[in-house]
Amino acid sequence: MTIRNNWTREEIAEIYNRPVLSLIYEAATIHRAYHDPQEVQVCTLLSVKTGGCPEDCSYCPQAARYHTNVKVERLMDVSEVLERATEAKDSGSTRFCMGAAWREVRDNRDFDKVIDMVKGVSAMGMEVCCTLGMLTPAQALKLKDAGLYAYNHNLDTSEEYYNDIITTRTYGDRLETLESVRNAKISVCSGGIIGMGENENDRIGMLRVLATLPEHPESVPVNALVPVPGTPLEDQPRVSVWEMVRMIATARIIMPRTMVRLSAGRVRMNLEEQALCFMAGANSIFAGDKLLTTPNPGGLRDQEMFQVLELHPRPAHKK
C-alpha cells in the first residue's frame, strides 16, 4: 500500500463508517504490514509549567479564565525535570514529553531553561518532545539544535468546529507552527480530542487535515475528552470505546506509518477496551498516573496490561 497525502473527505468517511469489525480487521492488517503489533511506545508527559494560560481552550483546566482546581506553578527547575526524566526512563519510558501552559514560546530566560531541559533529557538517550504552544521557525531551529526529537501541537478538532472550542488563536496559527516544526526537521506530533460536542464530520475533517499534510505526522494522539469541572466542557458525556476505535482505526489506515497514540481518556478504559484500541492500530501510550493535570492509569496497571497482552516497549529512536 502506498502512502497517500491526497485523501478526500468522502474516502475517509467511507472508511470511518465501515462496519466496526471490518474496520478493525483492515486496520489490524495494515498495522501488521508497517509495525510490530506487540510493540508499543511508552511516553511520559510532564507538566513543566502548569496553569495560568491566557488561551481559552474549552477543554483545558489550565486556562487562567476557568475556575478549576489546577494550581498555577512556575517553570520547574532544570534539575528537577531531569530527575523526573530519569525516573521515567528507569520505569521503561523511551520518550519524555515536557508541556508548558504557554500561548507561545517567548525568547526569554524561561525558554533558555527549556533548552537546557531538552539538552539534558536528550543526553539520557530518550526521545525528547515538547509542547509549548506556538513556535516561530527560529525557535524551532533552536530546539532542534538542543536535541529536540519531537514537538506536539494538536489540531484539536476540524477547522469548522475549531472556533467553538478556541477563539484566542486560529487553525491557521496551528498549521503554521506545524510547518515551522517540520521545516526544522523535528518529528511532528499532532492529533486531537473527541467528545467535545463535535460531530462525525468534524472528526473526519480533522483526520483529513492530518492525512493531507505534505508529510504525515510521525505521531497522532487520539484523546477522549476528560471533562474537568470548571471548564466549559465539564458536562460533556463520555465517548464510547467504539468511537475511539473508529478514530484510531481510520487514522491507522490513512496514515499507515504513523504512531497512533491512545492518549487522554485511557484512565476510563478497562484492559479489554484498551486491547481493542491496540488491535485497531494504536501503538503508543502515555505512562504515569497523570497526563499534565488529568488522571492516567498508573504504572502497575500498565505493567499488568503489557504482561497480559504480551506487549513490549518500542526502543527510543527506532526508525
Instruction: Please give the positions annotated as active site.
Output: 53, 57, 60, 97, 129, 189, 261
The CB-of-179 to ligand SF4 minimum distance in angstroms stands at 18
Binds ligand SF4 by CB under 6 A, chosen from 27, 42, 46, 63: 63
The CB-of-133 to ligand SF4 minimum distance in angstroms stands at 6
The CB-of-62 to ligand SF4 minimum distance in angstroms stands at 4
* Cα–Cα distance measured from residue 260 to residue 132, given in angstroms and rounded to the nearest whole number: 21
Nearer to ligand SF4, 26 or 55 (CB): 55
Which candidate, 259, 313, 310, places its Cα nearest to that of 35? 259
Nearer to ligand SF4, 102 or 149 (CB): 102
Nearer to ligand SF4, 231 or 284 (CB): 231
Amino acid at 294: T
The CB-of-222 to ligand SF4 minimum distance in angstroms stands at 16
60 binds ligand SF4 (CB under 6 A): yes
CA atoms in the 13 A half-sphere facing the CB of 178: 24
* Cα–Cα distance measured from residue 60 to residue 53, given in angstroms and rounded to the nearest whole number: 9
Nearer to ligand SF4, 51 or 205 (CB): 51
Residue 269 neighbours by CB distance under 10 Å? 17
196 binds ligand SF4 (CB under 6 A): no
Q: Which of residues 79-138 bind ligand SF4 (CB under 6 A)?
A: 101, 133
Look at residue 159 and give its three-state secondary structure. helix
Question: DSSP labels for 37-80?
Answer: TTEEEEEEEEEEEBS-BS---TT-TTBTTS--SPPPB-PPPHHH
Q: Which of residues 38-57 bind ligand SF4 (CB under 6 A)?
A: 53, 55, 57
| Burial degree of 56 (CB within 10 A; 0-12, 13-18, 19+) | middle
Q: Which of residues 11-30 bind ligand SF4 (CB under 6 A)?
A: none
Answer for the pair 165, 125: CB distance below 8 angstroms, yes or no. no
* Interacting residue ranges for ligand SF4, rule: CB under 6 A: 53, 55, 57, 60, 62-63, 101, 133
